Structure 1
């Protein structure tokens, strides 16, 4: 039996959530619903503008949120990332461990960069628009991988945002090769449509040779396939992934596995914050399939978890909520 269900790699960021309106997004030149990479100066300017709208702070980053979701469901995960020797870096490391995720985010040498930060701007319609300064996480490299822990996992989980810099891209490709050489399955999330639009060559490299499990939303699937037809996009996904989860927002999700397509209906809720919903979907699904559940059952758990998450602020559930969701969706602690 493996020591870990999932070994995840991704950017280490501190998420700072703020309430904004759409005129504010237009004023600062951001497209609603997108993720934009910015430099330190731009991030500082935006942080100053938003200092009175902050509602929540937590350790973040797509893979980080997924690993915490896995842990809250009862799974075991290890996360490799990179933080600086500053207050946000110390906060990130402590918060991950407090949420049950083993990690190798030892602070770098003092004065060597800053920990990454993501400003998550929530509009009244619950959509999240993100502005990210990657900080030192942009230099996450092969040296930051823990091959020892990777070999002990059932799945490697790669955050698609790693495609955005040469060193992080190289680390992801190396991790995938090491996983394949050691019989570890590989899961990938596209993360954001902008990663496909601006780093297509890198994303193609991530999926080269196929992957075992892909997570994406509708816009990402359509963008990757270069089509307006969901059916065409699905055929393309089948060419690169043995199985996949295609989330459709309030309409539910399509889960493909074992040669079968499963349509999962959405759960009607009043959404206030969609930040982290896709990340939690992945964490809950990974928990399910590493604990003996069928893709349909794992997908049902993931639908329930993400539906609960969007009804509250922040990118994660409380552990008590996770237990209740497992019970209500017919999945019990293993």
Structure 2
């Protein structure tokens, strides 16, 4: 697996625009299997269309309410955007670059940010448009091996956010060599621990908490005030829509979000996550504990903003890192 050594710290480079959105008549349908979701109700993408060489337009519809990605301070959950972007990776891979179904797509790094004022809830579903430019394309044996995506996200033709991500693509045989005896789901897993209290991690229900208090063998002096064990509940219908052999990227991003909420005391009151800068270094396995640590960054942030650094450590190796920027929620 090709790893990156650090998160992308620069702002995503897609330019802001208010140009007209792509006419619906030009859009092609999104096959459900192209977004790697078994539950059709969880497919957020609604259409796609080529927009030039290595460019594509993708449309999505966000429900006003969602069972897991529920509204936050009167706005759509920014993790809805993260999942929308995640679904666009397999769509583009299969539809634009002819990656066969069954190939494994692995995140290397992922940065996205939103404009809070553009995320407000409306009376019904919300339509968004992704304008995606692909670059740094690598091929192996004529097949896509890796690429970078720069994305601008629009709502009604107006700027909503930007994103930058890179992922790799592996044929089943290569993936088996990379993963060895861990390439298929097995019963050799650590049971999900008890959930942390939901309210401090901005969750309404315990079943949606992905952090667990540190178990006794890992308690002080090893544990820190802002430290948890990753809670991996493979029965969760959203995060584990289909069988996988390692912790999904969306689970790690959700862990970062929940950890950031838990340490946001300096801001006080309600907060809204506006930026995630993440890097995926190693697979997070199911058969060993994964420790999530969060701390407030000392760097200077604008008034009403806070940076939280989150890391995932498994078997003494850093597997994932994420810098989450929170903003004090305003109406």
TM over 0.5: no
Find the structure with the greater CA-based Rg. Answer: 2
The TM-score with structure 2 as length reference comes to 0.27
The TM-score with structure 1 as length reference comes to 0.27
